[in-house]
Amino acid sequence: MSLPIYLIGARGCGKTTVGQALAAALGYDFCDTDYYLQQVSGKTVAEIVAEEGWPGFRSRESASLIAVTAPGKVIATGGGMILAAENRQFMHDNGHVIYLNAPAEILASRLEAYPENAQRPTLTGRPIAEEMAEVLAARDQLYRQAAHHIVDAMQSPEAVVQQIVNALSLARAS
Ligand SMILES: Nc1ncnc2c1ncn2[C@@H]1O[C@H](COP(=O)(O)OP(=O)(O)OP(=O)(O)O)[C@@H](O)[C@H]1O
Ligand SMILES: O=C(O)C1=C[C@@H](O)[C@@H](O)[C@H](O)C1
Ligand SMILES: [Mg+2]
């Protein structure tokens, strides 16, 4: 059975971009928890947060994780999926968890180029560079705790895919 592969990491680390390329390379299905929950609710992340607050969004996000989990899938998660201990445990127990790691400055520069505000409403109310530094400082340990493998997300998407394939082959061989 091909366990699902969960991609975790902060906004802008490339979970969606790399996830699509990884799924194509492995012949897996691809899904994205942000996309899934927006399809199911008929609302953007910004609309859900405006109506229900972040707790409402987080609860929908946890339900989405369980709903999309299946063998043979690459699952790009939302940047805050690791905030709930139950989500970290669920991913760790049910699949291969890959942390796409990049420094806050790189993440901020990607997000400044493509803000996608409907999917990424502000988390702190601060400018993007400050927000990413603060968010990453608070979450890095949680990403590391949840992950089976950590990859360098500053490389090209193709190189990140290759790192993941290598990490999973090594894991299978050991
Ligand atoms: N390895 C990479 N090198 C250069 N640019 C990248 C890389 N990965 C992603 N990007 C760019 O960064 C932006 C954010 O990427 P993406 O949407 O895949 O991030 P994400 O981790 O899914 O973010 P979110 O948590 O908000 O869903 C996009 O414009 C994408 O093209
Ligand atoms: O880092 C976060 O907390 C988030 C990241 C996005 O993927 C979305 O899940 C949402 O905007 C929250
Ligand atoms: Mg994404």
| CATH number reported for the structural domain that contains residue 82 in this entry | 3.40.50.300
The torsion of the CA quartet 156, 160, 166, 172, rounded to 10 degrees, works out to -170
Question: Would 94 be classed as within a structural domain?
Answer: yes
Please give the pLDDT value at position 71.
97
Tell me: pLDDT of 1 over 90.
no
Question: Would 81 be classed as within a structural domain?
Answer: yes
Our answer on whether the CB atom of 58 is closer than 6 Å to any ligand 2 atom is no
> 52 vs 1, which has greater pLDDT?
52
For the CA of 118, the nearest ligand: 2
Question: Would 26 be classed as within a structural domain?
Answer: yes
Question: Would 174 be classed as within a structural domain?
Answer: no
| pLDDT per residue as tens digits for the range 133-174 | 999 999 999 999 999 999 999 999 999 999 999 999 955 554
- As beta bridge partners, residue 149 has 98
Question: Would 98 be classed as within a structural domain?
Answer: yes
Residue identifier of the C-alpha nearest atom 8 of ligand 2: 78
Mean pLDDT of all residues belonging to the chain: 96
Question: Would 59 be classed as within a structural domain?
Answer: yes
Q: Is the ipTM of this complex over 0.90?
A: yes
Evaluated on CA atoms 50, 48, 88, 74, the torsion sign reads: negative
> 171 vs 128, which has greater pLDDT?
128
Please give the pLDDT value at position 143.
98
Instruction: Choose among 73, 131, 144: nearest CA to 104.
Output: 131
State the average pLDDT over residues 95-107.
98
Report if pTM > 0.95.
yes
Question: Would 68 be classed as within a structural domain?
Answer: yes
Q: Domain of 50?
A: 5-169
Question: Would 154 be classed as within a structural domain?
Answer: yes
Tell me how many domains the chain contains.
Answer: 1
